[in-house]
Amino acid sequence: METEGVNSYSPAVRALVRPEVHRLPAYDPGADPEAVARDFHLPRVIKLSNNENPYGISPAAAAAIHRRLAKGMGRYPDPAGEALCTVLADRHCVERKRVLIGNGSENILELLCQAFINAGDTVVTQSPCFGLHEIFPLMMGARLHKVPLRADFRFDAPRWRAALDGPVKLVLVSHPCNPSGTVFSGDQLEYLIHHTPDSALLVVDEAYFEYARVDACYADALEALRHRSRPWLVLRTFSKAYGLAGLRVGYGIASHVNLIEALHRVRTPYNVNQLAQDAAIAALDDSAHLQKSARLVRGERTRITAALRDAGFRVAPSLANFLFIDTDGDALSIVRDLQRVGVIVKAWREPGYESYIRASLALPAENDAFLQALLRTRVGA
């Protein structure tokens, strides 16, 4: 994560920018495939930097978009997202008013920071962590406490306990964790829930839920929290396993209707476009597409993890559609070497993880190209 200098701004503009914004780290979206193709004169680039679904949108969702386009797009979308929220509420057996959709689940992360975080509040998250779990709280002036994973990538119970022993406003974890792909066991999740003070909001971001849940030992956060009266919010998205990243739609389910009402107050009224709402409803019904995507990831995850470990790399045990790999070298320079041969992955910039890359799992041929390219960087070293 890089801190973009505002020192280059003209003094007049610099004085206008809030101090919290001055200090914000920049989100790293990874390299642009078109720029990489152009710079290195490559006919084809493999993008493994954003955990997208290589199968893309489900045909049923694409058909829903065509139907909506035929009806016309001149009107504003449904501001309440009534149809989609109703389907989601039914699926998850919760009241309709406890469901919120957003312009990606990132939008809901932003809204919840805007609605709940005061300057000086403590937010506890994990390290390594998803960039926006850090950026949005800092944007509001929060103090961030990051609890590191143990060196063996496991949950560090004593450190979590110490972090939660104090005035905490928000606990924010991704599960499976982005970037490590690791998960909490059922007991660890219970531990986290038990030790999070009732005065704090507990948010579990399950962006990769549909990939992880096929594993017998996956602890489903919604099920773990469903009957708890403490304030909680579970986030999920259509961007990953459902393959709708370009449409921007995610959702949250909360313990209390009032939590969702507070989020409605700070959102823009038409934050989820109509094509995204329609496509999401259709995608929920296309279980064949979802299963095909989950099956691909499961097989490739096992295969590529084993190949990397055979080659001597340390790889975190992932339940998501990406792998977190210790290159044992300078990740940034390895990522540049990979780009030269047309493979885009992310170098992890968080302190302590400078030797790590995160690579999405895609089609077998794409994963093989990544594997070969990575092994070659090692031979050359």
Ligand X SMILES: *Cc1c(COP(=O)(O)O)cnc(C)c1O
Q: Which residue's CB is nearer to ligand X, number 113 or number 373?
A: 113
Comparing C-alpha atoms, which of 252, 302, 201, 218 is closest to residue 89? Answer: 252
Nearer of residues 137 and 250 to ligand X, judged by Cβ: 250
Tell me the chain's radius of gyration from C-alpha atoms. 21
- Pick one of 49, 58, 125, 178: the residue that binds ligand X (CB under 6 A): 178
Nearest CB to ligand X, comparing residues 51 and 293: 51
What Å distances lie between residue 243 and 100, 175, 237, 277, 293, CA to CA?
20, 19, 10, 14, 9
Q: Which is nearer to ligand X, 238 or 373 (CB)?
A: 238
Question: What mask of x and - would describe binding to ligand X in positions 20 to 39, judged by CB under 6 A?
Answer: --------------------
Helix (H) or strand (E) holding 148: strand 143-148
Decide if residue 207 touches ligand X (CB under 6 A). yes
Strand partners, 314: 326
Q: Is 245 in the site for ligand X (CB under 6 A)?
A: yes
| Beta strand 356-360 pairing with 322-326 | antiparallel
150 forms beta bridges with none
CA–CA distance, 341 with 77 (Å, rounded to integer): 43
- Residues 6 or more apart whose CB falls under 8 angstroms from that of 111 comprise 102, 263, 266, 267
Distance CA(49)–CA(321), nearest Å, equals 11
Q: Which stretch binds ligand X (CB under 6 A): 101-109, 265-273, 286-294, 347-355?
A: 101-109
**Residue among 220, 232, 300, 287 at smallest CA distance from 260:** 232
Cα separation of 312 and 375, whole Å? 10
DSSP type of residue 118: P
Residue whose CB is less far from ligand X, 105 or 377: 105
Site for ligand X in 338-377 (CB under 6 A): none
Q: Which of 205, 278, 300, 366 binds ligand X (CB under 6 A)?
A: 205
Q: Could you say which of 49, 126, 174, 255 contacts ligand X (CB under 6 A)?
A: 174
Between residue 31 and residue 90, which ones bind ligand X under the rule CB under 6 A?
51
Residue 24 vs 280, nearer CB to ligand X = 280
Stretch that binds ligand X, among 235-243, 265-273, 279-287, 342-350 (CB under 6 A): 235-243
* Smaller CB separation from ligand X, 181 or 342: 181
Longest dimension (CA), the chain: 58
Distance CA(72)–CA(80), nearest Å, equals 19
Which C-beta is closer to ligand X: that of 271 or that of 377? 271
- Which of 137, 250, 252, 342 contacts ligand X by CB under 6 A? 250
Question: What's the token pair of residue 222?
Answer: 């919604």
Q: Which of 53, 105, 293, 367 lies at the binding interface for ligand X (CB under 6 A)? A: 105
Nearest approach, Cβ of 294 to ligand X (angstroms)?
Answer: 16
Q: Which of 353, 371, 374, 350 is nearest to 362 (CA)?
A: 371
Task: Tell me if 104 contacts ligand X by CB under 6 A.
Answer: yes
d(CA 50, CA 67): 29
Separation between Cα atoms, residue 190 and residue 82, nearest integer Å: 33
The verdict on 127 binding ligand X (CB under 6 A) reads: no
Q: How far is the CB of 7 from ligand X (least distance, A)?
A: 31
Q: Does 271 bind ligand X (CB under 6 A)?
A: no
CA distance 343 to 105: 27
CA distances from 375 to 267, 302, 313, 362 (A): 46, 18, 10, 18
- 53, 180, 239, 293: which one binds ligand X (CB under 6 A): 239
| Nearest distance in Å: CB 125, ligand X | 11
Closest distance to ligand X from the beta carbon of 15 (Å): 32
Residue 32, SS3? coil
98's tokens:
């406890």
Which one of residues 130, 184, 211, 218 is an interface residue with ligand X (CB under 6 A)? 130
- State the minimum distance, in angstroms, from the CB of residue 323 to ligand X: 14
The footprint of ligand X on this chain (CB under 6 A) covers a number of residues equal to 14
Judged by the rule CB under 6 A, the positions of this chain that interact with ligand X are: 51, 104-106, 130, 174, 178, 205, 207, 237, 239-240, 245, 250
